[in-house]
Amino acid sequence: MSLFLGLGSQYAPRLDQLKRCERLFLHDGLSNTAILQAWASRLGMPWPEGLVDWIYNDKAEARKALVSELRKDIPGLKAISLEDRDDHHFTDTKPDLTYGSMQLFKGGLGLRRWRRRNIENYLLHPAGIARAAAKTEEEVRQFLETVHGLSITANFTDSDCPLTLGNTDGKDVITKNARSVTVEFGVDYKQIAEAMLPEEIPVDVKTLLQQLIDMCRL
């Protein structure tokens, strides 16, 4: 049976769009698109028109199977699948955000994984948080260091950032902790992303955004 029939009517509008545009962005949460679109706007990088946004929480093998099935009905489909690094080793992900020995694309699918623990980690820039919260940068730095033991250095934007930073759970610091940035300063992830200057946005983010744009140009 065609996957299009198996998924049912609730997916029909998305699948119709996918048939037309043939470009798919798989990821695991609503915050991803909101944050990435905010960063793209700050960088002056156009968010690709027609890119189909699909939240899909299963891991790489399931994503491969999904794209493989979709390509039976849409032979020209290309997809980028983004995952948090979570507990995988920092050095497993390359600067182009591929991991292991994989190619940029195989069978129409490009598997990507953040080099840092999660997307929220890339929001931990004191000046960006301070700007969003109408606080001083020093207030935010003191909070991050005192409450979360996190000292942000000048190489925050580098793909090869300090291991301590790369392994930090940004979700916990930004939203989940009882003394999170959101609780302490009253700002959420989207507001922080919107407040960051282009030079404060990490290289990994720019890499992924450019790959999404390039995929949609092909």
If you average pLDDT over residues 127-156, what whole number do you get? 97
Q: Are 116 and 165 in contact (CB under 8 A)?
A: yes
Q: Which two tokens stand for residue 201?
A: 């946005």
Closest CA to 25 of 67, 62, 88: 67
Decide if pLDDT at 2 tops 60.
no
Looking at residue 4, its pLDDT comes to 47
Residues 71 and 85 grouped into a single domain:
yes
Instruction: Please count the structural domains in the chain.
Output: 2
Residues 154 and 52 grouped into a single domain:
no
Residues 209 and 105 grouped into a single domain:
yes
Residue 126, domain extent = 120-200
HSE value, Cβ hemisphere, 13 Å, CA-based, for 197: 6
Residues 208 and 102 grouped into a single domain:
yes
Bin 157: left if φ > 0, else alpha if -120 < ψ < 50, else beta: alpha
Q: What is the pTM of this model?
A: 0.92
Q: Are 116 and 159 in contact (CB under 8 A)?
A: no
Residues 196 and 207 grouped into a single domain:
no
User: pLDDT per residue over 104-126, tens digit each?
Assistant: 999 999 999 999 999 999 999 99
Residues 32 and 65 grouped into a single domain:
yes
Residues 148 and 79 grouped into a single domain:
no
Average pLDDT of every residue of the chain? 93
Residues 108 and 166 grouped into a single domain:
no
Residues 60 and 141 grouped into a single domain:
no
